[in-house]
Amino acid sequence: AHSLVLAFGRAREARRDGANTLMLARALTEAGKNDEAVALYQEAAERFPSPVFRQELSQLWISRGRPAEALAVTWAALLAHPVDGAAPLLPAMLQLALQEIALLTELGQEHDAEARFARLMAAHPDAGERAVDLAEKLRRGGDPDAAMGLLDALLEQRPQHGPAARAQIWALLDQRR
């Protein structure tokens, strides 16, 4: 990873395109240079229109145990790219919307999480399967409470996802034992 950081050093100075900037931010994260990665993601999020920078910055904050910062970045991305309209939903934005719901749950704001999930599901009915996938990722990442909150919201809004979500819930309960 260190060689990647050096290789993309010139790209960082030039900051000519989003692809090089994204590659450098990922290399910095891999190299453990999280403060530099955060600064680069923040700058790129302002400079380039893609929501990917904010998505990855939010995930970096989560991995550093800072859900409030992750939520702030997520809200900024969702403000710039609303997900409750009829426009096609970019995968990065769906991930951010689901991440927001999980973060709200983790921060004890279940009512807000359920309301946001209801709006997301009304606008994008296919988001349910992605919610189950994110819950599994959260569970494997050591955050069973956020995973459980997301699955509870899914069951509340879309009973037809019950079998998949219930299987995930049983796995979460087993993990807690």
Q: Pick the closest to residue 128 from 172, 98, 83, 84 (CA basis).
A: 98
- The confidence score (pLDDT) of residue 123 equals 74
Structure tokens given for 65: 């145990």
Of residues 88 and 48, more confidence is placed in 48
- The confidence score (pLDDT) of residue 14 equals 45
Structure tokens given for 11: 């790209």
Tell me the pLDDT tens digit for each residue of 151-173: 777 777 666 655 665 666 666 55
| pLDDT-based confidence at residue 59 (cuts at 50, 70, 90) | confident
Mean pLDDT of 118-139: 76
Q: Pick the closest to residue 138 from 129, 147, 130 (CA basis).
A: 147
Query: With a threshold of 0.75, does the pTM exceed it?
Result: no
Which whole-number Å values give the CA distances from 83 to 72, 127, 177, in the listed order?
16, 11, 36
172 close to 138: Cβ distance less than 8 angstroms: no
Q: Give the whole-angstrom CA distance, residue 162 versus residue 37.
A: 39
- Both ends of the chain: CA-CA distance in Å? 37
Tell me the pLDDT tens digit for each residue of 60-113: 888 888 888 888 888 787 777 766 665 555 677 777 788 888 888 878 888 888
Query: Residue 135 is which amino acid?
Result: A
Q: How many helices (H) and strands (E) does the chain have?
A: 11, 0
100 close to 54: Cβ distance less than 8 angstroms: no
